[in-house]
Amino acid sequence: MTAPSLVLPSRAFLDGASAMAALLVGLVPFGLIVGMAAGASDAPVAAVAGTWLIYSGSAHLAVLGGLSAGEGLLAVVAAGLSVNVRLLAYSATLSARLRHETTRFRALAAALVVDPLWALVTARAPADGVRRYYLGAGLVLWFGWAAAVGTGAVLGQHAALAQAAAVGVPLCMVTLVAPHARSRRGAACVGAGAAVGLLSAGLPAGTGVLASMVAGALAGAVVTALVRRAA
C-alpha cells in the first residue's frame, strides 16, 4: 500500500503569502473603513459586492462616496474607472512576467491585480517562482481584503478605525514604495509621482494619480537619458 502523497505549497507561494499577510495587518483598518461605507449604503449587498467586482479600496470608496453625495451614475462610473486606470500599467508590467502561462491562469491572475500585489511581485518575486509568488500573495490579499470589508460592513462606524487606518495605510504604502526607490531612476519616479500627487490632490478623483503616472514616466526617461549620456 502506498502512502498518500502530500502536496505542500512551494517556497515561493509561501513567501508571497507571508509577505502579503504582513501587509494585510496594515491594510485591514482601510478595509474596515471601506466596509463601513458599504454598510451605510442604500443597497449594502451591492456595495459589499464591489469588494470583489471593483477590488480596489480607493475606487470602491470613490464610487460609494459619489453615490452617497447624490452624483449621477455616469459621473460615479467615470470617477471609479479614472481611479483604476493605473491598473492598466500594473497589468501590462505583470503580464510580461506571466506571458507563458495558460489563458485560464492569466484570466484569473488579472482579477487579482491591485497596488500591493504589483509592488510585491515586481520588487520581490523570485525569477524562478513568479507564478507561485503571485498566487500566494494575490490569494491572501483577495480573501483577507474581502474579510476586512465584510467585517467593516457588519461592525458599522468606529472612530478608532480611522486612527488605525491613518497609520496602517501609509505604513503599508511606504513598505511597497521604498524598494522601488533604491535606484536613481526609481527614486526620480517616486519623487515626481509624490510631488505631482500632492499638487493635484484637489483635482477630481483619479486625475491626480494619472498626472503622477505621466510625471513618473517622464522623470524615469530623463534619468535614463542622463545616465546614458554620462556613460
Residues 133-152 interacting with other proteins (rule: CB under 8 A): none
Instruction: Return the exposure string of 142-152: e unless at least 16 CB atoms fall within 10 Å of the residue's CB, then b.
Output: bebbbebbbeb
Rounded to a whole number of angstroms, the CA Rg of the chain reads 19
Please pick, from the candidates 9, 11, 53, 226, the single residue that binds other proteins as defined by CB under 8 A: 53
Exactly one of 19, 34, 130, 161 binds other proteins (CB under 8 A); which one? 19
In this complex, which beta carbon is closest to other proteins, that of residue 144 or of residue 216? 216
Which of 14, 40, 85, 147 is close enough to bind other proteins by CB under 8 A? 85
Residue 220: in which H helix or E strand, if any? helix 207-230
- Nine-digit cell string for 15: 513567501
Instruction: Supply angle C-alpha 18, 139, 152, rounded to 5.
Output: 95
Tell me which of 9, 11, 107, 227 binds other proteins, using CB under 8 A. 107
The answer to whether the beta carbons of residues 151 and 142 sit under 8 Å apart is no
- 227 counts as binding other proteins under rule CB under 8 A: no
Q: Which of 8, 96, 127, 231 binds other proteins (CB under 8 A)?
A: 96
The answer to whether 226 contacts other proteins (rule: CB under 8 A) is no
Task: Return the closest-CA partner of residue 194 out of 178, 204, 182, 205.
Answer: 178
Site for other proteins in 186-205 (CB under 8 A): 186, 189-198, 201
Interface pick for other proteins out of 1, 3, 6, 42 (rule CB under 8 A): 42
Binding to other proteins by residue 213, rule CB under 8 A? yes
Return the C-alpha cell found at 149.
470589508
Question: C-alpha grid cell for residue 101?
Answer: 502561462
The reply to whether 10 sits near other proteins by the rule CB under 8 A is no
Assigned C-alpha cell, 136: 500566494
Whose Cβ is closer to other proteins: residue 6's or residue 100's? 100
For residue 84, state whether it binds other proteins (rule: CB under 8 A): yes
